[in-house]
Amino acid sequence: MPKPTIKSWNAREQVTAEKLNEQLRDTTAFLYQPPYASLWTADNTQTAGGSVTQLSWTDWEFRGVAIQSSAPRAASGILVQEPGLYQIDYAVLAQPVGGISHILTYVRVNGTEVIGSAATAADVGFMSTGRINGVVKLRAGDVVSFAYYFSSGRSGVVIGNGAVKRGTHAYVYYVGES
Specify the fold of 34-176: Jelly Rolls (2.60.120)
148-157 residue pLDDT tens: 998 877 778 8
As a whole number of angstroms, the distance between CA 89 and CA 147 comes to 13
Chain centroid offset of residue 174 CA: 11
Percent of the chain, pLDDT > 70? Answer: 98
Position 5 scores a pLDDT of 78
pTM beyond 0.75: yes
Which residues lie below 8 Å from residue 99, measured CB to CB, with a gap of 6+?
124, 151, 153, 154
1-45 residue pLDDT tens: 677 777 777 888 888 888 888 788 888 888 889 999 999 987 888
Average pLDDT over residues 43-72: 88
